[in-house]
A and B are shown apart, each in its own frame.
Chain A
Amino acid sequence: MSAHAGRLPEVAQVHWRPRADRKLIAAQGRRWTASTVAHVIPFAVAAIVLFALEPLTFPVGLAALAHAWLIPELYADRGARVLRRQLRQDPLAERTAAGLLGDLVGHDARALHARTGLVTERGSYGTWLVGELGAVLLPAGGRRAYCWCVAVDDPALPSGDRIAHLLLALRADEESFATIANLTFSGATWRLRRRLPAPAREALDAARAVAARDAG
């Protein structure tokens, strides 16, 4: 996949955004981590200081620690939403769409889609896991996940078609795809994994295995 192939026309809708590339994506990840730390540290410090000053304030400290734990979990949950599946609609349409999607991907991706409703795709920025509502990027190594919210604006489309829309756009121009999409979470893959239903976990594990192989 070429990151610099013909640009997607949808990029014009977000002309103010810098073009996404590997460096920009990594910088977004660092900013996300810094932002999360900036949210978490004050609660953790407050809990420690309160307990040091007055041990009887421990309930308040526990509440502060709960906040420190909850904030990254909420972010991860927001990221996990891009891999959620919509309600199935017309079964015939779903089968037809799955057939077209199956023609676009290889055997392994087709089998994974049948089990999980998600498709893995190797890109130049890493391994993508594509769903109906967006995609997760796992750069080489697979330890960090970037969750991108991006979709076709037609809720009546069957699941396979929604994924095929994203897959074709991603394959045509990965750079445009990552520019158009909105980053909803960047952080540890294990944190994202905990927020996913079992089928999506399986798909994430498969994508992580590919990303880990690519790092080796």
Chain B
Amino acid sequence: MSRLIRMDRTGHTTVAEWTVDDPASVEAAVAAFREQLESGHLAMVSRGEGHAEHVRELPLDEELVILRRPIAGG
């Protein structure tokens, strides 16, 4: 089971869960993913220690996709 989570004031919230062999869950996850991106979130996939990748499409084969807010210099 893969998860799309959003870092928020609760720590994090699971936005969607899917398995690649369940088209309905994939469709719902993709829709949720796009909705989060439209609301200004950025999606990241951790590639192990020292590595991460910014993704613009939901990577269905990843176990965990993390949504974050943009950062800015203070």
Contact = CB atoms under 8 A, between A and B. Distances in A.
A165 B69 contact: yes
A181 interface: yes
A122 B50 contact: yes
Contact of B74 (A14, A150, A160): A150
B53 A151 contact: no
A70 B49 CA distance: 40
Contact of B54 (A9, A13, A149, A167): A9
A96 B73 contact: no
B10 A133 contact: no
A92 B12 CA distance: 11
Contacts of B72: 10, 13, 150-151, 153, 180
B71 A152 contact: yes
Interface in A169-212: 169, 171-173, 180-182
Contacts of B69: 152-154, 157, 165
Given A157-B9, A172-B44, A9 B53 contact: no
Nearest to A105: B49
The contact size tier of chain B is 20 to 34
A104 interface: yes
B12 to A, nearest CB: 6
B66 interface: yes
Nearest to B46: A104
Contacts of B11: 92-97, 99-100, 158, 160-161
Contacts of B51: 1-2, 171
Contacts of B5: 100
B68 interface: yes
A8 B50 contact: no
Interface string B40-74: 00101011011111100000000000101111111
Contacts of A123: 50
Contacts of A97: 7, 11-12
Interface of A: 1-2, 5-6, 8-10, 13-14, 89-90, 92-97, 99-100, 103-106, 121-123, 133-134, 148-154, 156-158, 160-161, 164-169, 171-173, 180-182
